[in-house]
């Protein structure tokens, strides 16, 4: 056999051998790539209950070895546990589903050894998207007073609910003009407006006048809400919750939280604060103990991950202004 023929024979069998290696687990190209086991446990974020029959998808981002790792889909068992075996050193994304929604997507680093992780997921909370019949006024600070809604603009926009959408009723004057207002809340004809970043203005809507104004040093307010039963006023910055005192109206206790990006708050029996960074809503009792974690979904089961503002109506329905 000539050297040329020998060369092609060797090349042919080498390609076959490489092809066989490539058809091993998840298309491993290098047979010397270390193989490990990844185990995860999924629980409800508030109750701690184990969550069975949830879909988990593990996708590779950057592999340390020459490995082609196809996205792997698995399910949690009755103990809320799932296993990926084998898994190879590299950077992955773990996406966890609940209510047929991808409610959490987190990075995973596999280095040198078996890996175990614990995940906790929020509960679903059904909300309605605030919009008028034309779908306008969707990016304005929002307050709801019984069956009326107020959107901050110049002039103000006042809507009445028709149970499905909101119909524009009137556009009264705005005593503050065109200044930037980050959030509002209202009780009867009295409206509280945050002039970002550090002052709250009290407005009488009926008389189109300013009643009071006070400043909060070092706090960038992004959310305001009223407990209409006790008339208690709450506010939030990106990472803090503020209790206001009355007579005179001023900032009281300031509570630091583990939040990363509070954006809006609303009150109905308890305090609800939405964190745009974590894409979840956190519920607190009056002592600011956490009583629930939620993902927002609309009537079509579409997740709402970012919001501009939110407010409850008199029936306890939560309306949100998405900012996606």
Q: Which residues make Cβ contacts (< 8 Å) with residue 283, sequence separation at least 6?
A: 270, 271, 272, 273, 290, 291, 292, 293, 294
**Dihedral sign from CA coordinates of 185, 186, 192, 193:** positive
Structure-block tokens of residue 292:
């629930």
Q: Answer whether residue 23 shows pLDDT above 70.
A: no
Q: Output the pTM of the full model.
A: 0.84
State residue 286's pLDDT score: 87
Number of continuous H segments (helices) and E segments (strands) in the chain: 1, 28
The SS3 of residue 109 is strand
Poorest-confidence range of 5-19, 23-37, 131-145, 256-270?
5-19
Q: What is the pLDDT of residues 102-126, one digit of tens each?
A: 999 999 999 989 999 999 999 999 9
Contact 142, 321 (CB under 8 A): yes
Q: What whole-number distance in Å separates Cα of residue 190 and Cα of residue 121?
A: 38
DSSP state, 187?
E
How open is the CA angle 292-295-298, to the nearest 5 degrees?
130
- Which is nearest to 130 in space by CA: 309, 315, 294, 314? 309
Give tens-digit pLDDT for 261-310: 999 999 999 999 999 999 999 999 989 999 999 999 998 999 999 998 99
Q: Which helix (H) or strand (E) covers residue 196, if one does? A: none
pLDDT at residue 30 in the model? 63
DSSP reduced 3-state for 228: coil
Residues counted in the chain: 324
Q: In sequence order, which ranges of the chain are alpha helices (DSSP H)?
A: 3-22
Question: pLDDT category, 215, cuts 50, 70, 90?
Answer: confident
Q: Tokens representing 61?
A: 């981002």
Better pLDDT: 5 or 147: 147
Burial, 75: exposed, middle or buried (Cβ in 10 Å; 0-12, 13-18, 19+)? exposed
User: Whose CA is closest to 276, among 224, 322, 242?
Assistant: 322
Report pLDDT for 5: 53
Q: Evaluate if residue 218 carries a pLDDT over 80.
A: no
Give the span between the Cα atoms of 235 and 273, in whole angstroms.
10
């Amino acid at each position: 056999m000539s050297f040329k023929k020998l060369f092609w024979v060797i090349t042919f069998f080498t390609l076959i051998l490489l092809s066989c290696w490539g058809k091993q687990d998840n298309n491993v190209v290098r047979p010397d790539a270390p193989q490990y086991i990844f185990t995860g446990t999924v629980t409800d974020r508030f109750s701690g209950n184990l969550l069975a029959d949830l879909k988990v998808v593990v996708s590779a981002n950057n592999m340390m070895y020459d490995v082609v790792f196809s996205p792997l889909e698995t399910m949690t068992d009755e103990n809320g546990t799932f296993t990926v075996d084998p898994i190879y050193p590299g950077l992955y994304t773990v996406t966890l589903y609940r209510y047929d929604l991808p409610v959490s997507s987190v990075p995973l680093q596999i280095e040198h050894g078996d890996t175990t992780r614990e995940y906790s997921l929020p509960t679903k909370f059904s909300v309605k998207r605030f919009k008028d019949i034309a779908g306008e006024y969707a990016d304005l600070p929002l307050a709801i007073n019984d069956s009326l809604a107020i959107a901050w603009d110049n002039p103000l926009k006042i809507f009445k609910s028709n149970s499905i959408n909101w119909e524009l009723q009137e556009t009264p004057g705005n005593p503050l003009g065109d200044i930037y207002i980050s959030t509002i809340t209202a009780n009867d004809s009295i409206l509280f407006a945050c002039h970002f970043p550090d002052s709250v203005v009290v407005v009488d809507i009926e008389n189109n006048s300013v009643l009071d104004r006070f400043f909060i040093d070092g706090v960038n307010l992004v959310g305001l809400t009223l407990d209409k039963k006790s008339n208690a006023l709450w506010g939030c910055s990106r990472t803090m919750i503020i209790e206001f005192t009355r007579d005179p109206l001023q900032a009281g206790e300031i509570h630091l939280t583990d939040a990363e990006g509070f954006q809006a708050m609303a009150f109905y029996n308890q305090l609800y604060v939405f964190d745009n960074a974590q894409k979840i809503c956190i519920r607190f009792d009056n002592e600011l103990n956490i009583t629930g974690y939620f993902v927002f979904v609309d009537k079509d089961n579409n997740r709402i991950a970012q919001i501009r503002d939110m407010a409850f109506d008199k029936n306890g329905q939560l309306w949100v202004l998405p900012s996606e």
